[in-house]
Structure 1
Amino acid sequence: MDADPPGLDLARLAGHLQRAGLTEGPLTAELIVGGRSNLTYVVRDAERTYVVRRPPLGHVLATAHDMAREHQVMSALRDTAVPVPLMFHLCRDAEVIGAPFFVMEHVEGGQPPLTPALAHALVDVLAALHSIAPGSVGLGDFGRPEGFLERQAARWKRQLDASRSRDVPGFDDLYERLIRDVPPQGGSAILHGDFKLGNTLVAGGEVRAVLDWEMSTLGDPLTDLALFLLYGEVAALDPAAGRAVGAVSEAGGEAPPLPIEAGAELAAHYGEASGRDLSRFGWYTGLACFKLAVIAEGIHFRHAMGLTVGEGFAGIGEQVAPLVARGLMEV
């Protein structure tokens, strides 16, 4: 049996999956690098390949890395137009490998450059996700849609207050503008919560699977669209900073070769595909800017304290003020 990758006891996993009727014989495994949250492994026996997903090492909040929740939403979407891996097994018993985990289908694919055609395909997937009535797939109680936008703004304000280390002009003003003029929620939908190219698998120009559903919930679908478009914008402006905030996966190669102006056309395409009103979309872009600015400020704070290393982290603080200014232009 191969050496155990970090966080995965192969002998215990093999015994558990054999009892569940999923595998035979010894297992080999490798950790998929580049992830920033839950750990993902490619696991093989003599005949088949699976993917195993578990929370990060160390102490984590169950609500932030809920394996059952992520397994639930992908299981629910199995027979819809949203491409997701097949779910094979959920283990809630932390004694098996040290944490709850699930086993899913291994889907071939990667993250190629974000061409216009692929960007449109991703927007179509997002529109398809948002068109699914949550109750029709058993997700009617998957979240609390009422007051979702207000809670989002307040959540990221708390995150900001927890990582302040300097004065960034306009940060508080952006928050005040957001909470002062929250738009009426444009319906409720299943949200991915972190939709971007790096959380998909693509092959032959086709989106083969949408992954990393740990932030999924029910809420206003335009938050998904605004964050997706802003991720592309950040990555195009500064590839290193884009990788630092997760706009581009570390294995995803160069920044997307899309002009910033493409965002408006993609938003219009989403509006046509979904039939949703985008007249207040500037507010959602402002919220996305606030969220990414808070994330970047937190990374800057941790880097200044010597708690992070890696490409893009040293300069991530320089992206905060432009994100805040961008948000103020929109709200």
Structure 2
Amino acid sequence: MNDAVHEASAPDGGARPATRAVGVREVAALAGVSRQTVSRVLNDHPEVAAATKERVLAAMRELDYRMNNAARALGTKRSHTLGLLASDALQYGPSRSIAAVEAAARAAGYWVSAAFADSGDAASVAAAVVHLQAQGVEGLVVVAPHARTIEALDALEIGVPVVTLHSAAHDARSFSVDQVAGARAAVACLADAGHRRIAHLAGPADWLEAEARRSGYLAELAARGLEPGTIIAGDWTARSGHDATSAVIESGATAVFVANDQMALGLLGGLREAGVDVPGRVSLVGFDDIPDAAYLWPPLTTVRQDFEELAHRAVEAVLAGAAGATVGGAAAGGPGEPGTGEPTEPEFGERIVPELVERASVAPPHP
């Protein structure tokens, strides 16, 4: 049964002790229907008449009935909950993806249960997975920007469909934006403006997307017959961008591809403090298109990632996998509908190609 504890308020505004759980029995009595009919309404059964369904929903509202997903899962084997495991939620890309996954799941009629793990600790990743399994999640979306997180997942028996985000296509379960293509577009923008000495302010070496952006930088230079410029290590923060100012100036580069917009913001400020005009003396291209990028001075040319589309594809795929398969491998129903067999592996599509957003931080090199 789907029961929930209902707490009433005392006349003086204080909380009364918890009363008996308001459950299916009370809803059925108020609506004048059977308990089976209430259960059918809760589980979106198609054969419930519209007027009956509305009467049951009205009774739920009047009684302040709250669905108990754990109880529902016992009866239906389905929790209508997806698990979200994140090994980094502080940086712009992962945080945007986490919010986008929650929105996409909600649009599909699912809740999200989240757990966070230390990417460098396999035991922490395993504990987070166990926690989510205990919630009865029907699928798992993993925001996995570090190779160590993927390695920890590979060692686990998870039992539900799994997709990963921000793994730069290094994982067979990955849904990703094409980081290499984005980096090549950024370098191409600078080269097309006439720059031949292009430096790279890179992200942390243990991030898969930082590695992919560096690879794209080198690939585009090689394709154009240009020598690699100075590569400077950053840590995604504006401070590390600011700290890279001296290295950029000493490199003699006339342009810099910066691996994210936060570092570009810091470098922009550092160059201004050093009396180096952007884009008059040094051109900059960032990555991510953070909301502030259009309002920096000069407005930042950058690479935009479609996090919403990425999350939509991932959630759609993991739900399709959770739906299971019939004999012979045909999918049983659409996303969110129960299948007749074991969960299947999600189908992975093409990587999303990011978009270059041209603003005012790029100009031809100074004579």
TM-score (norm. length: structure 2): 0.21
Bigger Rg over Cα: 2
TM-score (norm. length: structure 1): 0.22
